[in-house]
């Protein structure tokens, strides 16, 4: 059985949902709105994943692990991760893999080059 060590979830990350968001004028436009602020583990991707994603060599491939919950269970590549919270640094999600049966989500993400 897969379990997750609570001590390894030592970083706060913000998950952003793509959809309609309200801009500073109160108009709805397509954009990203906060979905959840969660505890997670943030680490560089293993070497094999970096080689497989050579086109992203200028950007760091990062793996973010968070606890599974119904709120974040449908996270997908349209969404983003912000880390550290409040920094404005966003990562494009490339894949989301469920670890165990409703134990954790492993998010492979790439830092955005325009930041």
With a cut of 70, which residues of the chain have pLDDT below it?
Answer: 47-59, 112-115
Give this prediction's pTM.
Answer: 0.83
Measured from the Cβ of residue 74, the count of other Cβ atoms closer than 10 Å reads 10
Q: Which domain holds residue 74?
A: 6-111
> What pLDDT sits at residue 98?
96
10 within a domain of the structure (yes/no): yes
First to last CA, the chain: 39
Number of structural domains found in the chain: 1
Report CA-CA distances (Å) from 71 to 26, 65, 86, 102. 26, 15, 21, 12
- Report if residue 1 sits inside a domain: no
Give domain status of residue 100, yes or no: yes
Structural domain contains residue 75: yes
CATH number at residue 84: 2.40.10.270
> 80 with 91: CB under 8 angstroms?
yes
Look at residue 5 in the predicted model and tell me its pLDDT. Answer: 87
Residue 77 lies in a domain: yes
pLDDT at 48: 45
């Amino acid at each position: 059985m897969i379990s997750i060590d609570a001590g390894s979830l030592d970083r706060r990350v913000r998950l952003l949902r793509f959809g309609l968001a309200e801009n500073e004028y109160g108009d709805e436009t397509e954009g990203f709105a906060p979905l959840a602020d969660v505890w997670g583990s943030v680490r560089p991707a293993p070497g094999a994943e970096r080689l497989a994603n050579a086109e992203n060599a200028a950007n760091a491939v990062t793996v973010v692990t968070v606890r599974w919950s119904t709120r974040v269970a449908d996270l997908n590549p349209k969404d983003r991760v912000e880390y550290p919270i409040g920094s404005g640094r966003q990562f494009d999600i490339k894949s989301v893999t469920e670890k165990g049966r409703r134990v954790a989500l492993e998010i492979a993400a790439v830092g955005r080059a325009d930041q």
